[in-house]
């Protein structure tokens, strides 16, 4: 990420976040996932009108009212914050968060997961767009299938209450289809 990208969000997000920061009455941290992270951090060439987040320590209800869908900020800037419920993050993802734009805001802080946690945030939904996003990340960021597999098995799989086989197959499909170093999820061994 370049220095300017590290300090300044792209428009219209910059104006949106600046105004939100002024409206907040207390500090709020946003743990972002989805298209906003892919376009801002990893330069995915796609336009996104929402910033998905999985957690907002310090006041997600305040965020929904101020900056959620159909809020005044959404109507003014044509972008909004969206709390996502269909995602299970790896257990220790918070210890690997990085802050975006750390010196820009007074009350508002934006954090993003590392690339493996970002990929694993897509396991539960597993939409065609999620598959495209995973493929893009594997093509553009040096990744190891063994690390993805291990993090899934140790920090995420135990928290899925059902459909273990379904999620196992999703992760294995991503490894087989997108990674150059193939790793068998069932045996824990690598090939190639």
pLDDT band at 191 (very low <50, low <70, confident <90, very high): very low
The pLDDT, as a whole number, for residue 52 is: 95
Mean pLDDT, residues 65-72: 96
Calpha distance 121→181 (Å, rounded): 21
Q: Is the pLDDT of residue 133 over 90?
A: yes
Calpha distance 133→179 (Å, rounded): 13
Mean pLDDT, residues 35-64: 89
157-187: pLDDT as tens digits: 998 767 889 999 999 999 999 998 655 655 5
Q: Which ranges of the chain does DSSP label H, i.e. alpha helix?
A: 3-7, 13-23, 35-40, 60-67, 72-77, 115-120, 128-140, 145-151, 164-178
Pairwise pLDDT comparison (121 vs 160), residue with the higher score:
121
- pTM summary value: 0.88
Calpha distance 131→14 (Å, rounded): 28
Pairwise pLDDT comparison (122 vs 85), residue with the higher score:
122
79-116: pLDDT as tens digits: 999 999 878 899 999 999 999 999 999 999 999 999 99
The pLDDT, as a whole number, for residue 1 is: 42
The pLDDT, as a whole number, for residue 86 is: 76
The pLDDT, as a whole number, for residue 7 is: 75
């Amino acid at each position: 990420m370049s220095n300017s990208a590290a300090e300044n969000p792209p428009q219209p997000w910059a104006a949106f976040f600046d105004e939100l920061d002024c409206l907040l009455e207390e500090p709020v941290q946003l743990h972002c996932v989805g298209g906003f992270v892919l376009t801002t951090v990893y330069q995915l060439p796609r336009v996104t009108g929402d910033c998905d987040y999985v957690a907002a320590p310090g006041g997600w209800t305040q965020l929904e009212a101020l900056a959620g869908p159909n809020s005044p900020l959404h109507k003014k800037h044509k972008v909004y914050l969206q709390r996502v419920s269909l995602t299970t993050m790896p257990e220790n993802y918070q210890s690997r968060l990085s802050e975006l734009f750390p010196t820009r805001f007074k009350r508002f802080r934006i954090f993003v997961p590392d690339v493996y946690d970002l990929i694993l945030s897509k396991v539960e939904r597993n939409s065609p767009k999620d598959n495209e996003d995973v493929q893009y990340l594997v093509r553009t960021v040096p990744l190891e299938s063994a690390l993805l597999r291990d993090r899934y098995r140790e920090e995420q799989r135990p928290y899925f209450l059902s459909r273990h086989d379904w999620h196992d197959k999703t992760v294995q499909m991503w490894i087989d289809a997108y990674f150059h170093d193939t790793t068998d999820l069932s045996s824990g061994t690598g090939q190639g």
